[in-house]
Structure 1
Amino acid sequence: MALTDDAIQKIKSMIMDGRLKPGDRLPREADLSVQLGISRGSLREAVRALSMMRILDVRRGDGTYVTSLTPDVLLESMGFVIDLHQDSSVLDLFEVRRALEPLAAEKAALLMTDEDARDLLTLAEAIGPGSEVDDVVANDLEFHHRIAQASGNTVLCSLVDGVASRTRRARIWRGVTQESAFEQTRREHHAIATAITRRQPSIAAAWSLAHVAGIEEWLRRGSDEEDLTDATEHGDRPVREA
C-alpha cells in the first residue's frame, strides 16, 4: 500500500504543478512508470484509486485522461458515500444542509441578478394547495439549486445539490403526513426569495436556516428513523386531500 500511496502522490503532483492538465492524456504506462520511478503494478493501483476519486478517467482502448477536475465531478464520490448511508443518516444530512444553505442564501442575496431573483420569487409562488407531492418536491429542489448556483461558489453549489437531492424521501414523507406542510414551504420559500430580491443577505440566511431547521426538528420530534425509511421505501403514503 505504501508503494501505491507513493504512486498516487506522484501523479497528483504532476497535476498540481501543471505537468498534467484537465483533459490531458497520461503517458503510456511503461513510459510513466519509468518517469515516476515506480513499478507498473503500483502505477496501475494508483490509476485505479484516482479513477475512483474521479481525478482520472480510464477509457478502455483509448487511454487514461485527467478529468475536468470540476467540483461536481470530484464530489461525485461524496454522493456515493451519502447514498450508502442515506437511510441511517437522514438527520445528519439535514444538519449539513442547515450549515450550508444559509451561506448560499446570504451569498445569493449579494450576487444573484435582478432577473434571476424575480424568477426565484415566481418559482416560490408556483406551488399551491392543489399541487402534487412530486411537483412540490421538484420545485423545492430547483428552488434551493438556484440559490446555491447564484452563490457563485461552485463547490458550495455542488455540496448543496448533493446533500439536498438525497433528502428527497424525507421531503415527500413530510409533505404527505404533516398538515399544511406545502403551504409552510411556500411561505418560507417566499420569505427567502423576497429577502434575496431586496438584497438582504442576513435576513435571507436567517429564513433559510429557519426553513431547514424546521424540517430537521419535525423529523427529530415526530419520526422514528427506521419508520421513515420503511414507509418511504415501500411507498406507504397516506392519502392526502387537496
Structure 2
Amino acid sequence: MSLTDRAITRIRQLIRDGELVPGSKLPPEHQLAASLGLSRNLMREAVKALVVARVLEIRRGDGTYVTSLEPALLLEGLGGAVELLQGDTVLELMEARRLFEPVATALAATRITDEELAEVSGHLSAMREARDDVELLNQHDAAFHRAVIRATHNETLATLLEHISGRTLRARVWRGLVDADTADRTITEHEAIHQALVARDAALAQAAALMHVNTTERWLREHLPERGHRSPAGPSEPAEPAPSTEE
C-alpha cells in the first residue's frame, strides 16, 4: 500500500467510525494532517482521490466536506467501469442482472404505490405505440424498468441495477434490428410484469421478470459467437440511445 493509499484509508476510517459524518466539514488541512501523522502533501493527495470517489467535496472559499454518501453518489463510477468491460463480459452482466432484477421486481410488487404503478403503466403504453421504432421502444423499455426498480424504495439496489443493466442496452437495440419478432415479444413480457405488479403478486412478478431477462440472455448466448465473442458495442452497431439503462 502506498503512502497515499494509507492516507486515504485513515480518512475513510474517520468516516466509518463516525468522527466525520455526512455533510460535516473536515478540520483545516494542517490540523488533520498533524492528527493523522501525515504530511500535508500526502493529505492533499488523499483528499483529491476521495473527491474523485465522491466521498469528499471541495467548496471553494469554504473548505472540504464529506458528501451525502448516498448510494447514487458513491456508486456513480460503477456505470463508467461497466462500460469499459470487454468481450463476453456482457454475458456476465446479464447473469448478474438475472440474479438481481427478478428479486427486485418481486420486492417492487410489495411496495409499489398507485402513483408509481401509473408511471409503469404509462411507459408500457408508450412501448406499444413505439413498437415500430426500435430505439424509441428501447428507451421506453428502459424507463419502464427504472420505474419498477425505483418502486423497491431501495436506492442501493436501484443504483446497482441501473449500472449493471446499462451495458445490455446496446445489445437490445442490436437484437431489435435483426430480430423481427422482438418488439411483440418484448411488449408481451412487459405486460406480464405489469399485470403481476397490478396484482401485487411478488412470486408472479419475480417469475415474469426472470422469464424476460432469460429471453434476452438466451438470445445473446446464441448470437454473440457469430460476432467473434464481442459484445454489441462496435462502430458497425447501432448508436447507443440517450442515457437509458435497463431493458
Fold-level similarity (TM above 0.5) = yes
Secondary structure of the corresponding residue to residue 127 of structure 2:
coil
- Uncovered stretches (5+) of structure 1, i.e. residues with no partner: 236-242
Q: Provide the rounded CA distance (Å) in 1 between the counterparts of 2:44 and 2:185.
A: 53
Cα distance in 1 for residues equivalent to 2:76 and 2:70: 10
Q: Distance in 1 between matches of 2:82 and 2:15?
A: 27
1:64 is matched with which residue? 64
Matched with 2:201 is: 200
The residue number in structure 1 matching 2:150 is 149
Task: Provide structure 2 residue ranges, at least 5 long, that are not aligned to the other structure.
Answer: 240-247
Q: 1:6 to 1:222 in 2, by over 3 A?
A: closer
Q: Relative to 1, partners in 2 of residues 1:86 and 1:172: Cα closer, same or farther, differing over 3 Å?
A: farther
1:40 matched to 2:31: no
Q: CA deviation at 1:96?
A: 1.4
State, as a whole percentage, how many aligned pairs show the same letter.
40
Q: Show CA shifts across 1:99-121 (max 9, x none).
A: 11111101011000133224423
Q: What are the superposed Cα offsets for residues 135-188 of structure 1, whole Å, 9 maximum, x if unpaired?
A: 111111111111111112111000111122232211110111112101111111
Residue 88 and residue 45 in structure 1: after superposition, are their counterparts in 2 closer, same or farther (change >3 A)?
farther
**DSSP 3-state at the match of 1:33:** helix
User: 1:230 pairs with 231, 234, 237, which one?
Assistant: 234
CA distance in 2, matches of 1:113, 1:143: 15
Q: For the structure 1 residues 9 and 229, does the alpha-carbon distance in structure 2 shift closer, same or farther, using more than 3 Å as the test?
A: closer
For residue 58 of structure 2, give the secondary structure of its aligned residue in structure 1: strand
Equivalence map 1:1-242=2 (5 Å)? 1-59=1-59, 62-85=62-85, 88-128=88-128, 130-223=131-224, 224=227, 225-226=229-230, 228-230=232-234, 232-233=236-237
Give the TM-score normalised by structure 2. Answer: 0.86
Residues 109 and 204 in structure 1, CA contact (< 8 A), matched pair in contact too = yes
Q: What is the rounded CA distance, in whole Å, between the counterparts of 2:60 and 2:86 in structure 1?
A: 32
**Counterpart Cα distance in 2 of 1:87 and 1:54:** 29
Q: What's the Cα RMSD here?
A: 2.2
User: 1:231 Cα shift?
Assistant: 5.6
Amino acid of the structure 2 residue aligned with 1:91: L
* Displacement of 1:130: 4.6
Measure, in 2, the Cα distance between the counterparts of 1:137 and 1:173.
11
Aligned-pair CA distance for 1:10 = 2.1
For these two proteins, the number of residue pairs brought into alignment is: 235
**Structure 1 segments of 4 or more deviating over 6 A?**
none
Asked if the contact 1:141/1:164 (under 8 Å) is kept, the reply is: no
Query: SS of 2:18's equivalent?
Result: coil
Give the Cα–Cα distance (whole angstroms) in 1 for the partners of residues 80 and 232 of structure 2. 21
Match of 1:238 in 2: none
Separation of aligned partners in 1, 2:62 and 2:86: 36
Q: TM-score, normalised by structure 1?
A: 0.87
